[in-house]
Structure 1
Amino acid sequence: MLKESKKNKFGILGLDYDTSAGLGWPGARYAPDQIRQSLKWILNRIRDNEIFDTEKNRLVDMSKVEIRDFGNLSISRYDHEKSGEEMKQQIDQVIDAGFSPILLGGDHSVTWPGIRSLYEHTEGKMGIIHLDTHLDLVEDSAVQGKFSGSSEIRRAAELERVDGNNIVQIGIRGYNYAEHYHFIKENNLHVITPDAFFEEGAAQVAKKAVEWASEGVDKIYFTLDIDVLDSAFAPGSGANEPGGISTWQLFKFVKEVAPYVDVFDIVEVNPMTDYRNMTSTVAAKLIFDYIVTNYYTCC
């Protein structure tokens, strides 16, 4: 299994873009700023470089953690593919500055520029951990094209140094196109449904995900679509589906996989459909859990 990725420098970049949300609810472009507002509720509890982690009953020394906010995107929003290239360049800048990117979407199309950026910063093979209710394996769409939030995993699977057996899709549920069944079988993708969380536990699911995604790879990209949660826990998302996992299960999963991944994105949080910022607050907690977990791995 891949060794833990030691990191204590995190670069937050807001990917405030939802142009490809042609089939779901638009509004995810407003998520980065709202997630930042929710994150402030946690950050303002840091005093003298310490914060109390009540869940672990421990004090966390934040003096060795650097969090830099790189702001939101500056892109040509009139051209989807050009926008994607400009997103990638700005994610490149975060990596080149020595920070591990935390990317705040935006709809799920923003993951493709993130994947491409890490891919080009990886000499060997790259794995992908993908939490979502949907497979995002659409080959092409008359409505959304080839580079939408329904296609980013399909595009990733086409990359030369990404093998299907290093792609793990978790939380998938409901019904989908028959063509996707054949694509998964032919390319050896791993698919884990919410049942596994309830039957085996989040820690065991995370262990499988890391084992499969990391086999023979140098780096792992981690993309989290907030609709992996049951609709009751995430009213503010682009395309709700019933029957998802709980916030506790998701928090547990992220803490388990955090030390092994190199780029982390959270997408499809939608303040326009949210209730009292419940979903943005979940995203903020996930980000801080990710940072703190990596701190204990690194320093």
Structure 2
Amino acid sequence: MHIDSFFATSNSSVSDADYIIFGIPYDATQSFRPGSRFAPTAIREASWNLESYSLYFDYNLDFARIADGGNINCDGGFEEVSERVSKFMEDIVGIPVVLGGEHSVSYMVARNLEDFTYLVFDAHFDLREGFDSNPYNHACTSRRILEVADEVIIAGVRSGTKEEREFAENSGIEVYYSWDLLEYGFDDLLDSLESKDRIYLSVDLDAFDPAFAPGVSTPEPFGLHPYDLVKVLDEIADRVVAFDVVEVVPDLNKVTQTLAAKFVNEFIAANASLNF
């Protein structure tokens, strides 16, 4: 058995599972440090180092029906890969749990959902209309998802252009800057999320300080603490209809990919424990 071939807690078939893990190893537009195409394999490997019991949520993942559907074929261009993602998602009924890949894979998933709020943890706005002459660049992800989502909420921002900031303000996008979250906490964000019934939660690992997640495409200082996400999961997990971890560029010490795998476990534990 190769421990990087499937997620450690996988125990069901795709057709029977409540949580379907699958990878989208696509990183064609990463603009600083490439390599997130290797992340799904690295995250799977790291998952074998983690216990299947969540102490925080008091839930054993052995009791959740979890499937690993493998990786989407990422040969070809963005639209070809997107069509394969859409085809895969047509055949699943459980909650998609996506291992990126660069952040543009979130749009590949989002365009198959309806009536949802896109909540993204990210150091960057990702609100450019285009970058490197490409509207589907990873720097444009939240801009593209705004076109298919009911609304967009971005938490952890600490980098971007003035134009992106003004676009967010003029478009009604809720932005929670990292310094405000670090200084005042998450109560305002959680209050806003109380009325959201269907949430697509996207976790760009660069939202967290490089001290916690050194292996990302575009590291940015002054970031969040990983525990902040767990607290948010505790409040919203029952309303999450899709979840992803993206922008991991595996590091030699396996720190970042282990954090990503831990987030996957804690999300599933948070959601499944509510029905246990």
Pick the TM interval, shorter chain.
0.7 to 0.9
Residues 72 and 81 in structure 2, CA contact (< 8 A), matched pair in contact too: no
Q: Does the residue aligned with 2:218 lie in a helix, a strand or coil?
A: coil
Counterpart among 127, 133, 157 of residue 172 in structure 1:
157
TM-score by length of 2: 0.87
In structure 1, the residue matched to 2:24 is 15
- The aligned length equals 260
C-alpha spacing 1:25/1:209, structure 2 compared with 1 (3 Å): farther
In structure 1, the residue matched to 2:79 is 81
Q: Does the residue aligned with 1:145 lie in a helix, a strand or coil?
A: coil
Counterpart among 95, 101, 104 of residue 96 in structure 2:
101
RMSD: 2.0
Percent of residue pairs bearing the same amino acid type: 29
In structure 2, the residue matched to 1:5 is none
Q: Does the residue aligned with 1:129 lie in a helix, a strand or coil?
A: strand
User: Which amino acid counterpart does residue 14 of structure 1 have in structure 2?
Assistant: G
Counterpart among 165, 170, 178 of residue 181 in structure 1:
165
Structure 1 gap ranges (5+) = 1-7
C-alpha spacing 1:38/1:139, structure 2 compared with 1 (3 Å): same
**1:245 Cα deviation from its structure 2 partner:** 0.7
**1:296 Cα deviation from its structure 2 partner:** 1.8
Structure 2 gap ranges (5+) = 1-16
CA distance in 2, matches of 1:144, 1:242: 27
CA distance in 1, matches of 2:105, 2:25: 9
User: Which amino acid counterpart does residue 265 of structure 2 have in structure 1?
Assistant: F
- Quick one: higher RCO (CA 8 Å, sep 6+), 1 or 2? 1
CA distance in 2, matches of 1:183, 1:270: 29
Q: Does the residue aligned with 2:69 lie in a helix, a strand or coil?
A: strand
Give matches, 1:1-299, under 5 Å. Answer: 9-21=18-30, 23-42=31-50, 45-46=51-52, 51=53, 53-55=54-56, 58=58, 60-62=59-61, 64-75=63-74, 77-93=75-91, 97-118=92-113, 122=114, 125-141=115-131, 143=132, 145-159=134-148, 162-163=149-150, 166-174=151-159, 176-202=160-186, 204=187, 206-211=189-194, 214=196, 219-271=198-250, 274-299=251-276
C-alpha spacing 1:99/1:82, structure 2 compared with 1 (3 Å): same
CA distance in 2, matches of 1:232, 1:181: 26
Q: Does the residue aligned with 2:139 lie in a helix, a strand or coil?
A: coil
CA distance in 2, matches of 1:82, 1:250: 32
